Amino acid sequence: MTKIVSLCKRRGFVFQSSEIYGGLKSAYDYGPLGVELKRNIAAAWWRSMVYERDDIVGIDASIVMHPKVWETSGHVSGFSDPLVDCLNCKERFRGDKAPPVAPGTEVVFIKGGKDKGEKIKGVVNARGYVCPVCGSSELSEERQFNGMFRTILGPVDPMDEFFREIKGKDLTEKEMKTIYEKITQNSLVYLRPETAQAMFVQFLNVQQTASMKVPFGIAQQGKSFRNEITVEHFIFRSCEFEQMEMEFFIEPGTQSEWLKYWTETRMAWYGKYSNSPANFRLRKHDKDELAHYSDDCYDVEYLYPWGWGELEGVASRTDYDLKRHGAATGVKLSYFDQNKADPETGKMGWRYVPYVIEPAAGLTRTLLALLLDAYTEEKGVDAEGKEKSRVFLKLHPSIAPIKAAILPLVKKDGQPEKADAIAKALRAAGINVSYDEQQSIGKRYAKHDEVGTPFCITVDPDTMKDDTVTVRYRDTAEQRRMPIAEAIETVIQSVRHPV
């Protein structure tokens, strides 16, 4: 993992956000190569889910939605974690994530959580854990912490009004909370914690305007925000992340067959872009893991360096969301099939609330998984017989940030101009290429190996005589001589998405 993090910064995939100010916890910026890789993965997903099908269409919904959407979906009341405060070092954490310690065990910790200071003895209580930071047994009771980011919509800061309202009054905490909620009820909004709800809210608009017939799907990609308590493993878990989600609307009673179809389809998609399919698996949720809206669910997981981690959930959401939003608004979020008989009456024409199968993938997690999957170290010997190692990213050419590097051997004799013409021809074909004339040819090869460039096309003195170039293949380091036109076609053909 350390090697991937180092490579990401050194080569321009991922940077710490606001780094010159000391950075911000769990916030990352994607550099020139990272943004290309992310866009390519997203495009591959969109291609497979939308462009290659006639039963799925897309939307791009607002990040900020009406707050009642989140009240109805259950996020306002239920999107929370039970948190504990350490009374010694003030760390806030989830008790179920803290290392377990047998109740009654005597522990010693440093007062205030500092490196130096008075040593305090304590006894682990019945909950069976201590502070994961300082080891203290002095902990608060668990309290619920909502994981949604709140913000204010409008030009007036409700806090000013709140302080004016409570000034000079002797109020209880409950009374102050009531006043605050009343003041903010017309201005409080949330940054979306998921992209799914917009697809339920827009179900009728999409179904009617796009003339979709059940079964059909609505796809969306975009940013979501969760005020995560535990941020970990680089970009795996962060407060701002990107999702690739699709809601597939189906007849009630067909959810088992469609869940099977979508779990198999999504697993096959990851297999097309990975080198080690065995590092991807499907895991069925136990009953006690299921969300309140789901009657069955599978996770697509990847074997990260720290263990198996979720990449994507494929859930059977039943008709929970459409029914909830329909009841809250009075709008019938239903579908009428004139060619089907109503199971209850036997009459032709069946109006029902569709069930939903939801494949919901994390774009940033997929990016990390495919980087780890592609990272390859290969040992060999150089021309002098000395041991050397080669590092390269074995990314599928269709998602590689740079498809080809065009390299003049020297910066004279017309070679830069010839190389530039090749680069322009590839760019005109929609291929992202890099023109590179810095450093020795060996160092340029090594650099492009590290960033996953599938092909290096070298222009040399012979090119100026016969219009042939040397094409070097990333995965094997093999070099082949061919005409310029053939080299261009080789690159164009190789970057097609797998079927």
Q: 491: closest CA among 422, 426, 437, 439? A: 426
387 in Cβ contact with 340 (< 8 Å): no
Which regions of 131-227 does DSSP assign to beta strands (E)? 143-146, 150-152, 188-190, 216-225
Give all strands (DSSP E) within 4-53, no chain letters: 14-16, 28-30
pLDDT for 105-146, tens place per residue? 777 766 665 555 566 667 777 778 888 888 888 888 877 777
Domains of the chain from N-terminus onward: 2-75+191-371 (3.30.930.10), 83-146 (no CATH), 402-494 (3.40.50.800)
Please count the CA atoms within 13 angstroms of the CA of 449 that sit on its side-chain side: 20
Cα angle, residue 365 at apex, residues 367 and 11 outer, rounded to 5°: 40
Q: State residue 250's pLDDT score.
A: 98
Query: What is the model's pLDDT at position 389?
Result: 87
pLDDT, residue 115, reads 53
Q: Find the angle CA(489)-CA(493)-CA(496) to the nearest 5 degrees.
A: 150
At residue 92, the pLDDT reads: 78
Low-confidence ranges of the chain (pLDDT < 50): none
Residue 217 has what pLDDT? 98
CA atoms of 30 and 486, how far apart (whole Å): 34
Structure tokens belonging to residue 134: 């300082």
Q: Which pLDDT does position 231 carry in this prediction?
A: 67
pLDDT for residue 111: 67
